[in-house]
Structure 1
Amino acid sequence: MTNEAFRDLFQRYFEGLASEEERRALMQHIAAAPEAELELAMREQWLSFEKPDADVTAERGAVLLRSILDNDTMENKELREIRTARTAIYLRRWWVAASVMLILGAGIFFWVSNSKTNEEIVQRPVDVAPGREGAVLTLADGKQVMLDEVKDSVVALQGGATARVVNGQLVYEGRGNEAVFNSMSTPKGRQYNLKLPDGTQVWLNSESSIRYPTVFNGKERKVEVTGEAYFSVTKNNKMPFIVKVNAQTDIQVLGTEFNVNAYTNEAAINTTLLEGSVRVHADKLSQILSPGQQAQIGQDKKIRLVKEVDIDKVIAWKNGYFNFNDADLHEIMRQLERWYDIEVVYAKPVQPVEFRGKLERSLSLSQVLEGLQLMQVNFRIEGRKVIIEP
């Protein structure tokens, strides 16, 4: 299909004039079209409505068009709305919202499964800065070191091992002559990166902790974790690496990369494997994971194996953004509570709505809430408390 034919067919589709055969041809072309071609079609269609505040990028155009493809396949409510004369208004308001966020430096895209455009403008909330790098290091003698503002320097000498901050990472150097224990904790609104004595790297998400020895002796390398952490484990066949999670689950590895989400206000302890192999233990049960799989351990201590996991969503926090694909409002707000150090209260039960979208963790709270507001999430602010309205 030529570019001109594609654009003409795309226009007919939006006007509700495309036949069933033309619709199928359009959906097949969208599914296989290059990003640049989708960008051009989206830009021309958009300019026929109203000039936006920011250019339509290839990524945004492709996302919207592919969402049209998904909706067309499902024959759902959004598709029926697209096929009506209200499409121009719906799309224009949606794109203005995205453009505002783009101007704010965000790069945000939201798509809610049953949303309508919210025409009400509420008062801009009091701003809260996003979380940042920082943690509390507790030494063997109980002394605490705030790592938030520490630049490259030695922060502790213990039994021959040196704890040094290097480029924003706490690194243990040297071979200690005795194993003393340190712990690192990240309060709400903080995250930090740690390099253990064996070279294993650990990324701690907000409201998390890890306890570890300053030197690994004996037959195993064992650490204890709460909250959420990402591990890149240095391989050592003679000394397996063991992560004890919330004092109830053990993860045994040789050399691998995996993520552990064990927040107490989540439904399960989720261990997701990216590379290598791990064995997850819970009570008297165990499960070996392959890359791309996740072990979920609920309150019943049973292990549920998920064979295909959205890895991008699992490690989005480590890569600097939120991934809200297939997330409900409660899941989203729990993440915001931890990262912005806020309290979320629900005035009344909210409807189950699934979101789709990504946004950078560098956004201020007001920018995030404005994005949610455009998706009909109503709220009011009282200090650091966000109250969700029906």
Structure 2
Amino acid sequence: MTREEYVILHQKYLDGTCTPQEKKLLEEYQDQFELLDLPWDSEAMGPQEPTKAAIFNRLQEAAGLQEAEKRRNYPFLRMAAAIALLLVSVGVYYLFRTQPAGQIAEVKKASVPTTAEVQPGRNKAYLTLADGTVIDLEATANGDLSQHSGFKIIKLDGQLSYSGQEPTAGQAQFNTLSTPHGGQYQITLADGTKVWLNAASSLRFPAAFAGKERMVELTGEAYFEVAKNPAMPFKVKSSGMEVEVLGTHFNLMAYEDETQLRTTLLEGAVKVSNSTGEVTIKPNQEAVLQLASNSLKVEQVDAQESIAWKNGQFLFHDEDLHSVMRKIARWYDVEVVYEGEVDHKSFTGTVSRFEDITDVLNMLELTETVHFKRKGRRLTVMP
């Protein structure tokens, strides 16, 4: 069992959702995750012993223990301290870029009011058929959605699947899958290509592919696992840019409110082109199109970071506050406004996309460099 798996299992235990088998597994592994066994990044987390002592003391204070009681061997505190440090080691806490090494953010009571009206995103999308029919997928039961013109559409638990024969010339029927703010969806196209659509995104595609190429159009962000077919290249058009592949895994971020379009490759090879030229990228490379200058460049990246959203995580790596807030706005469907000077702030860290928005904002506030005020779905960002 990895540390990350242990943290997830422990969270299920705290939530009361552990099965008897999982609880037994947790008990069997808890002794393997002692404080001294943790890898330690002094640059990011500060001096090892003072940091561990501060976390342990804070947990004791939170538990309301008196000095005499603190001297006893409380297994639950030892375990809680280990969990706290595990959370730090796997990146759940936010580390503000300018925060001095070794400084432990003071955990404060929630300053952002909790409310049930703002929820994390979920499997929510609309499918528009070639004849203009719009299907609310969240409100539609599992099963066959449509079956005509030689192809079938099946819905099953947040996923769509297309299958059927290739159309004859002139019979291509284009469908559009759209996710609103606070939505995501997965689709398997007729050729077997799998696409994960992020919030506030739209994918236009033929119900069945025919001809010399497989062409789709994207607005927003999606992760593609393209079915191999050397005789029929797969192409994605987006905001004046085109990505061409034969069979590969890549992420394309092309939101209209961003200043850059990013194509990140995980496997295979892709060619990215626009009106000024083209570049070919390899795994762990990213083609970046600067919209202002219409210029393309290639950067070395950790490609896994680009699909953290697909895996249920917000992952920020030295990311500026405005970019962080755009992601939060799309996923939680909130309006973000700024009050005061909040530029030149960047964040590094990860947190589950399925946390309550209050918890996410409070984690950001631990840096003591940014604060939030929320009224309904309007979120004000303040220094």
Q: Deviations over 1:165-222 (max 9, x none)?
A: 1343111111153311100100000000011111111110000001011111111110
Which of residues 322, 334, 344 in structure 1 aligns to 2:336?
344
124-133 vs 189-198, which moves further? 124-133
Q: Deviations over 1:257-298 (max 9, x none)?
A: 100001122221000011111100011300111111100001
Q: Give yes or no for contact 2:112–2:358 (8 Å, CA) kept in 1.
A: no
Which residue does the alignment assign to 1:322? 314
Q: Name the CA distance, whole Å, in 1 between partners of 2:330 and 2:316.
A: 15
Which residue does the alignment assign to 1:238? 231
5 Å matches for 1:178-193?
178-193=171-186
Which residue does the alignment assign to 1:114? 98
Q: Name the CA distance, whole Å, in 2 between partners of 1:331 and 1:165.
A: 33
Which of residues 123, 127, 132 in structure 1 aligns to 2:122?
132
Which residue does the alignment assign to 2:135? 145
Which residue does the alignment assign to 1:384? 377
Give 1:112 shift.
Answer: 1.7
Q: Deviations over 1:332-351 (max 9, x none)?
A: 11110000000111101215
Consecutive aligned runs of 4 or more in structure 1 exceeding 6 Å deviation: 55-60, 83-87
Which residue does the alignment assign to 1:173? 163
Unaligned runs of 5+ in 1: 1-33, 36-54, 72-77
Which residue does the alignment assign to 2:200? 207
5 Å matches for 1:43-58?
none
Identity of aligned residues (%): 37
Which residue does the alignment assign to 1:16? none
Q: Name the CA distance, whole Å, in 2 between partners of 1:212 and 1:344.
A: 32
5 Å matches for 1:231-380?
231-246=224-239, 248-299=240-291, 300-307=293-300, 309-376=301-368, 377-380=370-373
Distance of aligned partners of 1:328 and 1:213 in 2 relative to their CA distance in 1, 3 Å threshold: same
Distance of aligned partners of 1:210 and 1:63 in 2 relative to their CA distance in 1, 3 Å threshold: farther
Unaligned runs of 5+ in 2: 4-28, 63-79
Name the SS for the 2:362 alignment partner. helix
TM-score, structure 1 normalization:
0.74
Matched, 1:225 2:218: yes
The number of residue pairs the alignment matches comes to 323
Give 1:164 shift.
Answer: 1.0
Q: Give yes or no for contact 2:163–2:208 (8 Å, CA) kept in 1.
A: no
Q: Give yes or no for contact 2:181–2:331 (8 Å, CA) kept in 1.
A: yes
Distance of aligned partners of 1:113 and 1:66 in 2 relative to their CA distance in 1, 3 Å threshold: farther
Q: Give yes or no for contact 2:264–2:286 (8 Å, CA) kept in 1.
A: yes
Distance of aligned partners of 1:315 and 1:84 in 2 relative to their CA distance in 1, 3 Å threshold: closer
Give 1:301 shift.
Answer: 1.5
TM-score, structure 2 normalization:
0.76
